[in-house]
Amino acid sequence: MIDAEVKQGIIQEYRTHESDTGSTELQVAMLTERIRQVTDHLRTHRKDVHSRRGLVTMVSKRRRLLNYLSSEDVGRYQRLIGRLGLRR
């Protein structure tokens, strides 16, 4: 799980307006942080199949959100993957 401080930092950095809690950019940023945490966990716990399944689910959800964003607004998509450091 993401710590409350880290979560607030991500919200402050990626929100699109003052009361934003669920924009596509914010959801992708939160998923990216969770994916990084689970990936680190799986490096030490290689046989944790349940966490691996959760990781695959999160990666799939992030991919769908990024596909949606690229179809809606390519500029926002390019800025987001640049800020997150995702390849594409």
CATH at residue 51: 1.10.287.10
- The Cα 33–Cα 72 span in angstroms is 23
- The Cα 82–Cα 88 span in angstroms is 9
**Residue ranges making up the domain that contains 61:** 4-84
Checking if the pLDDT of 35 tops 60, the result is: yes
User: Residue 21: what pLDDT?
Assistant: 84
Q: Which two tokens stand for residue 1?
A: 């799980």
**Average per-residue pLDDT for the chain:** 95
User: Residue 88: what pLDDT?
Assistant: 55
> pTM for this structure?
0.91
Lowest-confidence pick of 17-21, 36-40, 57-61, 73-77: 17-21
Domain count, the chain: 1
Query: How many other C-beta atoms lie within 10 A of the C-beta of residue 81?
Result: 17
Percent of the chain clearing pLDDT 90 (strictly above):
92
Contact yes or no for 60/47 (Cβ under 8 A): no
51, 67, 74 from 37: Cα distances, Å:
11, 23, 28
